Every structure is written in structure tokens, then in C-alpha cells.
Amino acid sequence: MTDFKEEQETGWLRDYLLVCFVRFGVFLAFHQMQPVFPLYLGGMGASSTIIGAVMGAFTFTATISRLPIGLVIDRFSRKPFLISGLSLFTLAVLGYLWAPSILFIALFRILHGIGWSGCTTVTATLTADIAPKKRRGELISYGGVANSVAAALGPIAGFALLHRFGYEGTFLGALGIVLLTFVLAWGIREPAPIIAPAPTPRNWIDTIAVRDSLLPATTIAFITFGAGGISTFLPLYAIELGLKNPGLWFAVFAACLLLSRPIAGPLSDRISRRAVILPGSIVNLIGLVWIALAPSPSWLLVGAVITGFGFGAAHPTLMTLAVDQTSDQRRGQSLAQFQLFYDLGIGLGSMMLGTFLDMTNQNFSAMYLVAAAVGALGLLIYWLRG
């Protein structure tokens, strides 16, 4: 895709902002529903294992569809797959309004996962395409601000709609947001592709994987393993500790993500990616341990602050590193690979930690300590190989 060599080149800002608005809409709709879903499933009689499996089905589907989407958008175009992803997202939300059983919900979660994969892979790639190279870390981090603001507002809006209108109100609110986002997506002008011969793969692995950017991709999977335990089970844990509106936790977490990104991005451009990734990962681990040991809602909210700053620094910097280590011709595939490992960590975290909860009689503290141990292993691997 077009590489803007001069920061002053005109035309990129309009489309960059449109992509940010689309990302905001997609993530707002997602985060409006996400923390409500475990309660919805629990109200239908699902166990922690079933809740983890249904939530993980979404992530697993998004994961396995990443690489095909990345391969295709590099060879053809970005925008048609963004529109297609938004269409599937819309159909999934309509399905949640209709689904009469957990089985049908799981089926629509699979459809939702494919749509989510298309939306997030394409918007992340377009952000990297449009950003001037010298400001790549900064603008990828700023692009992530849209995600953070949405993640802050989404849970609050979701629980507010839930308390006033029930689950139907939460899903209808998300549907309206997705439809508005669909309209905005049509206005994005995609940069023209760079015509270059495709690299000859050394073997079948090189066809589906981008070896140069595997390290940041695998590192994010270890980090998001704990995020899977947060997104799926934090609402239940928060209520157990006495926090009446779990959306407040996610709002604090997302606000700290928002504050960390404008600092982490420019620092990674001026110093190095590693100088941001390592401290961010360590702070995120401290946050998981803090959550595990929290005795009250106020302490739990402090854990949201710590993990928010840590994750907010590490995640976009790892994504920028994946872009740095990839040619323009394989940028979509590299970011799809990165998102694949991101989703894989969340999916495995949801399913494995859900099973762990059932085996330990709903011991949330032990579960989050296990998540921290997995994250520490990933940090060690990055430190040794990075």
C-alpha cells in the first residue's frame, strides 16, 4: 500500500480519521455487548465452562479466519472486506435478538467472530497504510485511542441499557451503532496498492505465516491470555466482591488505556519499541496479580488502573513492531497474524480459565494468578529473543 514519505503530504488525515471513527463504532458495539454476555448466558443456566466455551467460540472463529483475510486483502483490496465484516457483524447482532437457546447463540457467536475478524484486520491495516512512516508508532497508538474510548464507554452503556431495557435493549443499541459505522465505512478512500512481485515462499509455512513478525505476535498471545480471563469472568468476580456495576471496572481500565497510548506511541518512535514493550508488559503482570489479591471493589478498580496502563503501552507497540518487521506487500497478512495470536490468547484464556474455575470451585484469585504466570512466561520469551 502507499507509503507516504513526507509527513506533510496532504490527503491522509481525512481517511485516517474516518478509519478511526469506524474502529470506534466497531469496538463500541462490541464492548457494549461483551461484558453483558457472561451474565446473559449465566441467566440461561450456563456453567462457567459453557460460558467460557461460548465466549471462546467467537474468538476461535475470529482467529482461524484472520490469515485467509490477511492473505486476500494483500492481494486484492481492503475496503470490500471491511464492508463484508460489518455486514456479518450486523447479522450476528440480529441473531442474538432472536436466538432461543445457548446453542443458537453459539452459532451466531461464530458468525460474529468472522465479521469481527474482517473489521479489525482491515481497520488495523488501513491505519498502518495511511500513517506517515516517521509517525507510525504514534499514529498506530492514536488509532488505538478509538478502541480505548469505545472500551471505556461500551460497558457503561451496555449495563445502563441492560438495567433499563434488558438484554434486548443492549443488543438493539449495538445494532444501531454498527449500522451507523457501516455508513461511515463507505467514505474511506483506500490508498492505491504498490505493484510488486510476490515473494516466492520457501515452504508452505512461509505461505501462511510471516516469520519476521512472529515474535511480537506470539508475545501478544501470552498477554491476552489474561485479558481473556478479564473480559469473560471479571464481571462475575466484580459482583462477587461487591461492585454493583462491573462496567465501571472496564471504564477505568479503558480510560487508562486511553491515557497511556499517546505517551507510549511517541516514546516508541523516539527511543525504541523494546523500551516500551518490556515495561508495559511488566506493569500489566503486576495488575493481574493485584486483581487476584483484591479484597474489595476499590482495590479491584486499582487493578484496572495498573493493567490499563500496562496493556495500553505494550499492545500498540507490539503491533507497530509487527508492521516494522514486514514488507508493504505482506502488511495485511502480518497484521492478520498479529490479530490471530491476539485472539488466540483471549480464546484460550476464556476456555482454559473457565475450566480452571469449575475445577477450583470458582476461585477467581487463583485463576488470575495463573493468568499472570502465563503472561510472565511470554515476557521471558520476548526478553530472551527480542
DSSP E strands in 10-70: the ranges are none
Predicted local confidence at residue 3, as pLDDT: 44
- Residue 200 lies inside a defined structural domain of this protein: no
Domain containing residue 243: 12-193+211-385
Residue with cell 491515557: 259
Predicted local confidence at residue 194, as pLDDT: 52
Could you tell me the CATH number of the domain that includes residue 226? 1.20.1250.20
Predicted local confidence at residue 4, as pLDDT: 38
pTM of the model: 0.73
- Residue 6 lies inside a defined structural domain of this protein: no
- Residue 204 lies inside a defined structural domain of this protein: no
- Residue 265 lies inside a defined structural domain of this protein: yes
Domains in the chain: how many in total?
1
- Residue 318 lies inside a defined structural domain of this protein: yes
Residue stretches of the chain with pLDDT short of 50: 1-8, 195-196, 204
| CB proximity list for 335: less than 8 A, separation 6 or greater | 70, 121, 124, 125, 128, 319, 322, 323
- Residue 202 lies inside a defined structural domain of this protein: no
- Residue 201 lies inside a defined structural domain of this protein: no
CB–CB of 70/333 below 8 Å?
Answer: yes
Q: What is the pLDDT of residues 273-326, one digit of tens each?
A: 888 999 999 999 999 999 999 999 999 999 999 999 999 899 889 988 888 877
Predicted local confidence at residue 181, as pLDDT: 93
- Residue 199 lies inside a defined structural domain of this protein: no
